[in-house]
Structure 1
Amino acid sequence: MEILLLTDGDEFEQPLSALRMFGHAITRGRLAGDARTECRGAKAVLVDGCTDLSAAREACRRLDVWVPSAVVLAVVNAEDFAAVDLDWHVDDVLVAAAGPSEAHARLRLALARRRQSIGNAMQFGDLVIYPDSYTASLADRDLDLTLTEFKLLNHLVQHAGHAFTRARLLHEVWGHEASRRTVDVHIQRLRAKLGVEHESIVDTVRGVGYMVPASPQPQLALTN
């Protein structure tokens, strides 16, 4: 599992680096500021709340938006344990004195709970769409889609095998009049985020418009 440690202090990273003995890959990002780039690809994030509870809380709340598929654990001093409330948007709380074995166990259990609660997530090959949070991941990588990009991808996948004209997509996805060029621009941006290896998920139908090929069939994502 790829684990990101969000901290501004070396003393936080040193004991948790022992998580590597469980086969985890450990990277580090800054607690303060925009850590969106560092978060990409992370399956789990440990947030340092030992020195600044307010900054840790804000970081956890941002992670809920940036990487909704990742599990997030707040790491705090024992005396601050009760300060972590629901508004932190974390999966679990870890006392700083805990060792890497407990951290590994809590991460594993948090990930299992997250998988069991994905609800109506839809899987299409390596692509997983989460309608409740308007997010999607591809090969365990968060796609960081805009709302319109998500709606476009979700619509095409739900109707895999059916070709859509630009006019029909404008009506069914945008819901208002716009230039047909708007569809082309969003398809181009969507393919860029899918990456060269997976851009063919959204195919061009010459003389018609766009479609997602019918195979593999969309299905509910597995919860185990």
Structure 2
Amino acid sequence: MTRVPFVSRRWCPRRWGMAVLSVLAAGPLHAQVSTIATTPPTLSPVGIWQSSANAPAGGPSAMANTLSLRINTGATQILTALVDNTINRFPTPVSITTQWDLATLITAVDLVGYFSSPTAALSAPGSDIPSSRVQARMSSGRPTAFTSFTGAPVGGVGTPGATLHLFRQLVIAPFNGVGQRTDDLELQLDLRGLPNLPSGTYRGTLTLRALAY
């Protein structure tokens, strides 16, 4: 919960509404293998998605490749009181575990986060918060400082102007072709300089997707 010390009505920032951000673990993509069997994400409160890719026998990627993405905690992010013209930090991070078992042709695993629209990352009736106002950081990943979701798609995944590349894990099959990593994704809304928004409950969905190259 965001708490604002009361000093006087004149100087107290306006508290309005709340923000609810759902974090979705979507299907990984595999750039090398053409046949991919998938299962849909299972959420609320924990999301997991796993793909298994099996190339035809004797093909260049005949080994099985698996890539899974799990949201351990933080699948639902809630700010119970937003404050105008300041940074509103979501209270707990999203804990994400990425696991892989990949063939020798795979050289990297990426994690990408994105919203479906750059102009409406979170929405309430009659009003939107753009993705440029949603920021994330991952101390063990690429955006070690809070960075807005304003980037281009990565490997064809994401929404133009509403994407953030969260990490790139280099894979060398003899050494770490089988592995996993767990990362914490911190989120905040930067409302500095934004005109006061109408009160209401602003809801949005952040999609996470892993890719193997």
TM-score past 0.5 threshold: no
Higher relative contact order (CA 8 A, sep 6+): 2
TM range (shorter): under 0.3
**TM-score, with length taken from structure 1:** 0.24
Structure with greater proportional helix content = 1
Pair member with larger Rg: 1
Structure with greater proportional strand content = 2
